[in-house]
Amino acid sequence: MSKRVVITDYGFADIDYERTALEKLGYDVITGQCKNEDEVLSLSETADALLVQWAPVTKKVIEKLGNCKIIVRYGIGVDNVDLQSAKEKGIPVCNVPDYCIQEVADHSIALALTLARQLTTTDRLVRNGIWKITPPLALPPCREMIFGTMGYGRIAREVLKRAAAFGFKTAAYDLFVSPEQMKQDNVISLTPAQLLQQADIISLHLPLNEDTRHIINKETLEVMKPASILVNTARGGLIDTLALAAALKDKKIGAAGLDVYEKEPLPADHPLIQCENALLTSHTAWYSAASVPVLQQMATQEIIRGLTGQTLKNRVA
């Protein structure tokens, strides 16, 4: 039987780099655009390795993998892979955590500043023939606002560097980073409750797991400032989006800038679509002309390390 690397799905223009690099090692590269576990199963059962973007690599899929030596996700989050099942099967799972950091940070700050300066609402007024030299709502200066992040990893740190450059007071919550480390970075360490109550802008930069799913929900939204802004470029499941839509509609918070959602694409009938104080982008924060080839190269090199017995760089399970 030939040696096979399966790319379950991808959104790139081509997979020339992957094909060339892996064929040099004697592997056939099999590609698909799998949407569900049955499609993944039919393509992957005899694979020596899996490269996955969005396709579900479930317990059922992993139990059927007979030859697989490594699973690599094109991206940072790995919530579409059953990590526990992979661990039990002895299959390493890796991600690519060190690409698109600058792009996501740029996108996060762009969403935050657009909403903080009320650009979308002012633009709407101008297009409707309403000319006012003051914005629709009260607008404090950046220097009087607290910009907080939930999470203080690579991307969150870059976001807060950008926020500081605009004069924001910066704060963060992270269970795994000491207050002393944050203080060295001129960032105030807050508890989750303090961050929710005090921050004018909250940007989410957490992994999605059992502890963080719906960390923003009806109860947490109610303790946020009435004019606060919520930004999410991390994982859609961090927010109960129905609760968020209700809070936006009822003006419980000021605005939200979202790039990720619990279900993607965002359903056309989702109540967030009707929220004029929501700025919605289509999971594009990761993208730039430079980030795509870097992602493909890094993921492929990790696959090669797994297939050739080298030390893995970014093993998560």
CATH number of the domain bearing residue 164: 3.40.50.720
- On whether residue 171 sits in a domain, the answer given is yes
Cα–Cα distance measured from residue 237 to residue 212, given in angstroms and rounded to the nearest whole number: 8
Cα–Cα distance measured from residue 308 to residue 151, given in angstroms and rounded to the nearest whole number: 35
- On whether residue 317 sits in a domain, the answer given is no
Residues 70 and 139 in one domain: no
- On whether residue 312 sits in a domain, the answer given is no
- On whether residue 219 sits in a domain, the answer given is yes
This prediction's pTM: 0.93
Residues 117 and 219 in one domain: yes
Residues 257 and 301 in one domain: no
Q: State yes or no: is 39 an active-site residue.
A: no
End-to-end CA distance of the chain: 28
The number of domains in the chain is 2
Measured CA to CA in angstroms, residue 55 lies from 23, 37, 43, 81, 111 at distances of 23, 8, 12, 9, 28
pLDDT string in tens for the chain (317-residue length): 689 999 999 999 999 999 999 999 999 999 999 999 999 999 999 999 999 999 999 999 999 999 999 999 999 999 999 999 999 999 999 999 999 999 999 999 999 999 999 999 999 999 999 999 999 999 999 999 999 999 999 999 999 999 999 999 999 999 999 999 999 999 999 999 999 999 999 999 999 999 999 999 999 999 999 999 999 999 999 999 999 999 999 999 999 999 999 999 999 999 999 999 999 999 999 999 999 999 999 999 999 999 999 999 999 99
Q: Largest alpha-carbon pair distance within the chain?
A: 71
Residues 198 and 298 in one domain: no
Cα–Cα distance measured from residue 1 to residue 67, given in angstroms and rounded to the nearest whole number: 11
- On whether residue 314 sits in a domain, the answer given is no
**What strands lie across the sheet with 255-258, from one edge to the other?**
188-189, 169-173, 146-150, 201-204, 229-232, 255-258, 278-280
Q: State yes or no: is 127 an active-site residue.
A: no
Residues 86 and 119 in one domain: no
Q: State yes or no: is 270 an active-site residue.
A: no
Contact (Cβ atoms closer than 8 angstroms) between residue 217 and residue 238:
no
Q: Which of 157, 205, 235, 305 is catalytic?
A: 235
Residues 29 and 177 in one domain: no
Q: What integer pLDDT is reported at residue 1 of this predicted model?
A: 67
What's at 43, amino acid-wise?
L
Residues 136 and 270 in one domain: yes
- On whether residue 313 sits in a domain, the answer given is no
Q: What integer pLDDT is reported at residue 2 of this predicted model?
A: 87
Residues 113 and 262 in one domain: yes
Owning domain of residue 232: 101-280
Residues 115 and 253 in one domain: yes
Cα–Cα distance measured from residue 162 to residue 108, given in angstroms and rounded to the nearest whole number: 10
Residues 250 and 130 in one domain: yes
Residues 153 and 189 in one domain: yes
Q: Which of 88, 144, 264, 276 is catalytic?
A: 264
What's at 111, amino acid-wise?
L
Cα–Cα distance measured from residue 41 to residue 60, given in angstroms and rounded to the nearest whole number: 8
- On whether residue 263 sits in a domain, the answer given is yes
Residues 70 and 121 in one domain: no
- On whether residue 316 sits in a domain, the answer given is no
Q: Which of 19, 213, 214, 283 is catalytic?
A: 283
